[in-house]
């Protein structure tokens, strides 16, 4: 059975992984300075950071519309036995709803809610691609993804809260207090929604190492197949420190280092990094 895996750009997979698994990525929309751009196509992460650093307003994001999904499904549905499209969590975006409506016209198109974002979403996409390579049928893949999705662990640590504050997700008082106390909050995806986790205190490098050690503190409970280290904008030495910290906590078969795309970076800002992995089935 030939199966095409497609995804929204929020999956934050590297160009190498997208090419390796022949994944079609549909860009979501970024609204900046009165114009609308396609994530990763005609706007990139550094464009957003430059705009905000120059005094511009925080960029906003928009879901794909029904016609965007119809264009993808109409292209691949006749070419493949099945198409499996995987969306960002339906609690973050209307993309899943739009894709489901578009898929109603096709008997061989399956739409999956990842219940996640960034490379938490990306984990689900790659799991689907690997299962398709192994020859599993589309219904089998969708059923298996339903078991995997609750086991994906996605979180990030934030260095700065101005993007959250300007985007209305954090009060000015909270942001000021965090800055004065040098707090670096962690953000976790729980049941498809974002929650604030442990707050770390001090320099970013110290907090990042502590955060990674906390997340990987039970290595025997983690699936060793793959981990993502995903960041928005960081110096190379901090990325290398993150990788070394992961390696000392647990050996993974694949350590993928990816940069967050525009959709995620609009909300987390610069100097954000996360480790995203899958728990073993109980």
User: How do the domains of the chain map onto residue ranges?
Assistant: 3-28+63-149, 154-278
Class of domain 154-278 (CATH, top level): alpha beta
Rounded to the nearest 5°, which phi and psi values hold at 188? -120, 145
| C-alpha to C-alpha distance for 144 and 48, rounded to whole angstroms | 37
Picking from 63, 68, 64, 37, the residue whose alpha carbon sits closest to that of residue 51 is 37
Kind of pairing, strands 35-38 and 155-157?
A: unpaired
Tokens (6 digits) for 96: 């899943």
Mean pLDDT by 10 residues, the chain (282 residues): 94 97 96 92 92 86 94 98 97 95 97 97 98 97 98 92 53 38 81 86 94 97 98 95 98 97 86 96 88
CA distances from 65 to 23, 28, 71, 147 (A): 20, 9, 10, 28
Q: What's the confidence (pLDDT) of residue 78? A: 97
Q: What's the confidence (pLDDT) of residue 13? A: 97
Q: Return the CATH architecture of domain 3-28+63-149.
A: 3-Layer(aba) Sandwich (3.40)
Over the range 185-222, which residues count as b (16 or more CB within 10 Å of their CB) and which as e? bbbbbeebebeebeebeeebeebbbbbbebbbeeeeeb
Enter the DSSP assignment of 222: B
CA distances from 199 to 49, 109, 232, 240, 273 (A): 24, 42, 19, 23, 14
The 10 Å Cβ neighbour count of residue 81 is: 12
Over the range 240-271, which residues count as b (16 or more CB within 10 Å of their CB) and which as e? ebbeebbeebbebeebbebbbbbbbbbbbbbb
Q: What's the confidence (pLDDT) of residue 169? A: 44
Q: What's the confidence (pLDDT) of residue 245? A: 98
Enter the DSSP assignment of 279: B
Q: What's the confidence (pLDDT) of residue 171? A: 36
Identical fold between 3-28+63-149 and 154-278: no
Q: What's the confidence (pLDDT) of residue 111? A: 98
- Under DSSP, is residue 29 helix (H, G, I), strand (E, B) or coil? strand
Picking from 149, 159, 271, 281, the residue whose alpha carbon sits closest to that of residue 222 is 281
The H or E element that residue 212 is part of is helix 204-215
């Amino acid at each position: 059975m030939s199966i095409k895996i497609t995804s929204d750009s929020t999956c934050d997979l590297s160009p190498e992984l997208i090419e390796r698994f022949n994944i079609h990525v549909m860009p979501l929309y970024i609204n900046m300075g009165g114009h609308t751009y396609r994530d990763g196509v005609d706007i990139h992460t550094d464009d957003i950071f430059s705009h905000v650093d120059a005094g511009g307003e925080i960029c906003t994001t928009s879901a794909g519309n029904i016609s965007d999904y119809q264009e993808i499904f109409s292209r691949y549905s006749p070419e493949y036995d099945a198409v499996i499209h995987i969306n960002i969590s339906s609690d973050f975006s209307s993309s899943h709803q739009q894709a489901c409506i578009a898929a109603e016209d096709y008997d061989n198109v399956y739409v999956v809610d990842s219940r996640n974002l960034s490379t938490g979403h990306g984990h689900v996409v790659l799991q689907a691609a690997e299962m398709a390579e192994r020859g599993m049928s589309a219904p089998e893949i969708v059923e298996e993804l339903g078991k995997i999705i609750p086991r994906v662990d996605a979180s990030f640590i934030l260095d700065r809260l101005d993007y959250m504050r300007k985007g209305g997700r954090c009060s000015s008082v909270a942001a000021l207090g965090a800055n004065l106390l040098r707090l670096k909050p962690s953000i976790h995806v729980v049941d498809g929604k974002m929650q604030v986790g442990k707050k770390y205190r001090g320099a970013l490098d110290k907090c990042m190492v502590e955060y990674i050690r906390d997340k990987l503190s039970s290595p025997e409970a983690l699936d060793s197949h793959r981990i993502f280290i995903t960041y928005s904008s960081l110096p190379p030495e901090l990325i290398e420190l993150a990788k070394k910290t992961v390696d000392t906590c647990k050996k993974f078969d694949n350590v993928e280092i990816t940069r967050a795309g525009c959709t995620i970076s609009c909300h987390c800002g610069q100097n954000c990094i996360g480790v995203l992995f899958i728990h073993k089935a109980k």
